[in-house]
Chain A
Amino acid sequence: EDKVVQSPLSLVVHEGDTVTLNCSYEVTNFRSLLWYKQEKKAPTFLFMLTSSGIEKKSGRLSSILDKKELSSILNITATQTGDSAIYLCAQLEANSGGSNYKLTFGKGTLLTVNP
Chain B
Amino acid sequence: AAGVIQSPRHLIKEKRETATLKCYPIPRHDTVYWYQQGPGQDPQFLISFYEKMQSDKGSIPDRFSAQQFSDYHSELNMSSLELGDSALYFCASSFRGGRYSGNTIYFGEGSWLTVV
Name A residues whose Cβ lies closer than 8 Å to a Cβ of B.
31-32, 34, 36, 41-45, 48, 50, 88, 90, 92, 94, 98-108
Q: Once the chains bind, are A45 and B108 in contact (CB under 8 Å)?
A: no
Nearest-CB distance from B108 to chain A (Å)?
6
* Total of A-B residue pairs, C-beta within 8 Å: 65
16 A-B residue pairs with CB within 8 Å: A34-B105, A42-B107, A43-B90, A43-B107, A44-B107, A45-B107, A48-B104, A90-B105, A100-B50, A101-B31, A101-B48, A101-B55, A101-B56, A102-B33, A102-B58, A105-B35
Is B62 part of the binding interface, using a Cβ–Cβ cutoff of 8 Å?
no
Task: Say yes or no: A41-B110 contact (C-beta < 8 A), given A34-B104, A48-B104.
Answer: yes
Q: Once the chains bind, are A106 and B42 in contact (CB under 8 Å)?
A: yes
Closest to A102 in B: B56
Closest to A48 in B: B104
